[in-house]
Amino acid sequence: MIVGIDLGTTNSLVACYTEEGPKIIPNRLGKNLTPSVVSVDEEGTIYVGETAQERMSLYPDTVAMTFKRSMGSERTYTLSGKKYLPEELSSFVLRALKEDAEEYLGQPVTEAVISVPAYFDDQRRKATKRAGELAGLKVERMVSEPTAAAIAYGLYEKQEDTRFLVFDLGGGTFDVSILELFQNILEVRAVAGDNYLGGEDFTRILEKLFLSKVGIDGNNLSAKEQVRLYRCVEEAKRKLNDKSEITISCLLGEEIKEAQIRTKEYEAACEELFTKIRQPVQRSLSDAGLSLRDIDQVVLIGGATRLQICRDFFIRLFRKFPNTSINPDEAVALGAAIQAAMKERRQEVQEMILTDVCSFTLGTEVVMEYGDGVVESGHYSPIIERNTVIPASKTSRFYTARENQEKISIRILQGESRFARNNLYLGELEVEVPKGPKGQEAVDVTYTYDINSLLEVEVKVISTGASRKMIIKGAQNTMTEEEIVKRMEELSYLKIQLRDQEENKLALLKAERMYEESIGDRRMELDFAIRRFEEALRSGDRSQADTERKSLYRVMDED
């Protein structure tokens, strides 16, 4: 059976699809939430969830938490003298969820759809897939957390023709996604986020306030005192929701320290975090070409959205009350369960079609030459921009940068930095070019990206016609070589340049003819519409080209 799993920074959940719809599976303690906490004792016994959490107060050096934030990195956690990678710790949580699901369902669970933050790059997704495999789960599909939540709201609650802004503030990560549900098609319009911002940061702000008031340097606290303080502050944070002031008391050393903190005071201290939250919201709206007025519903998910100061901030930011009709802690897991049912081709959910976008820009490294003759290497040239609806294919032309250059290397990168070194390296292709003056030889580099996380890179030498190809598979892709070849053949239509497509050639020819036959204002209107259409064709954006072609025809059809 396939289950849906929300592998969270603070808590994790597992869900399944039943005749009544998606359902959260309770853990062995009868609770829906399993804390994403792992402890290993000196005998090598592994504890997960609340048991591990309780051990934190007694044996803090044997416990790890918030390791999802380091997923895909080389950071290690030392527990009882043994080092563990973040994906290994995550696998312990996933195995516990798997065992709970098998006990509840009375049958083996062999596969899972696992949710990941929308802004997780390929490296982090690969680490998540490895964690699933270490837990004994087949992970063929991952779903972005905001997308999973939108699926839950859109399909589970049958809310048709809705444009969602999904605001996902979990324990350690923050995502914002804009999605549109129209006639059973759920289209992701844009994603943005911060992998290092979440509820944990709001807890740390309150902790700093408390330490400041009692005059203690947090660096001087022992490991046990740090754990004790964190527990006290986390509990106090929840009480702020219905009080204007709270008292935090904590035993530090041999003395109970106490301080009063007002809600307004705490809210002001969190202003820096709110500023960080605004940026991805604004970027996602800009990338989608929308304003807040265009959003029908703002959906809140993630445990941190329960904080009243956060909800007050959301209302001010979005100028509308957010939708929280589904438990914010459970929406992602429910959506993942629906996605699992889609993968099983369950009849109840078969009608939903899901489109996605490229979360990160894909490009290559280039050399830049400035007007004063200065040449600077290491720059990043985007080819497929982030939030491009996929599948997509884009081509860029690059020229030799040195005299008598014999080879051109295309380093395949993923990321948003203008400097190549700051982006994620995916692979490299090299082609030979005839020797000649600098800038004489050129290559066309075509990136074709598919919803199955397939990236095909083709480099073609203009003068000789020689070409090389490379296919990079994403973390969740398990397609065979034959399936990959077949899929790329299906996408070959995307590689035809927009200007060369029949409908675009016809529109341009007709417009040119009408321009020659017109005079005065009519000719100026046609010229403006033609130039806009040609600009859209040059951009390589099919959606924009379609829009401008229709606009050109409207101008041509005017009497």
**Which residues carry out catalysis?**
6, 68, 145, 168
Measured in whole angstroms, the distance separating CA 20 from the mean position of its chain's CA atoms is 30
d(CA 60, CA 177): 36
d(CA 69, CA 86): 8
Q: Are strands 2-6 and 111-116 parallel, antiparallel or unpaired?
A: parallel
Q: Token match 């982006």: residue? A: 423
Q: Which amino acid would we find at residue 522?
A: R
d(CA 331, CA 193): 18
Q: Are strands 375-384 and 362-369 parallel, antiparallel or unpaired?
A: antiparallel
Q: Are strands 424-432 and 297-301 parallel, antiparallel or unpaired?
A: unpaired
Q: How far is CA 145 from CA 119, 332, 416, in A?
A: 10, 6, 21
d(CA 262, CA 337): 40
d(CA 425, CA 555): 46
d(CA 118, CA 87): 18
Q: Return the SS3 of 167.
A: strand
Burial class of 454 by CB neighbour count within 10 A (0 to 12, 13 to 18, 19+) = buried
DSSP per-residue letters across 360-392: S-EEEEEEEE-TTS-EEEEEEEEEE-TT-EESE
d(CA 230, CA 234): 6
Cβ distance 153 to 180 under 8 Å? no
Q: Token match 């902790």: residue? A: 207
Choose among 456, 242, 221, 451: nearest CA to 358: 451
